[in-house]
Amino acid sequence: MANELSLDILGTSFTITADEDEAYLREILAQYRAAVENTQSISGITDALNAAVLTGFLLCDEINKMKLHKDGESAEVEKRTLNLIARLDQALKKTPDNG
């Protein structure tokens, strides 16, 4: 079911339609507003378009860093799992009852 959400941010107003729950859309809007405020605070940028563009860039950077961190964790878990399997395999080969 499509939901509409009216946005008013950085002096711009428009309405979006999405299949997501309205509460979820409001949460995303609140997160974006906080991100824009943070960007403006740390950069000193007051121009709405520049603040929106820089915020988008910083959010993409954050997403990519999270993906890289997750991928690194996955690789480490896989490495440890394979190591454990190899050690278990070795231990089972040494057991006199396994055959």
Predicted confidence (pLDDT) per residue in 19-60, tens digit: 988 898 889 999 999 999 999 999 999 999 999 999 999 999
Mean pLDDT for the chain overall: 85
Q: Does residue 75 have a pLDDT over 90?
A: no
Handedness of CA 12, 13, 19, 23 (dihedral sign): positive
Q: What is the pLDDT of residue 52?
A: 92
- C-alpha distances in Å from residue 40, one per residue of 46, 55, 69, 81: 6, 9, 27, 44
Q: What is the pLDDT of residue 37?
A: 94
Helix runs in the chain, H state only = 22-43, 48-94
Q: Does residue 98 have a pLDDT over 60?
A: no
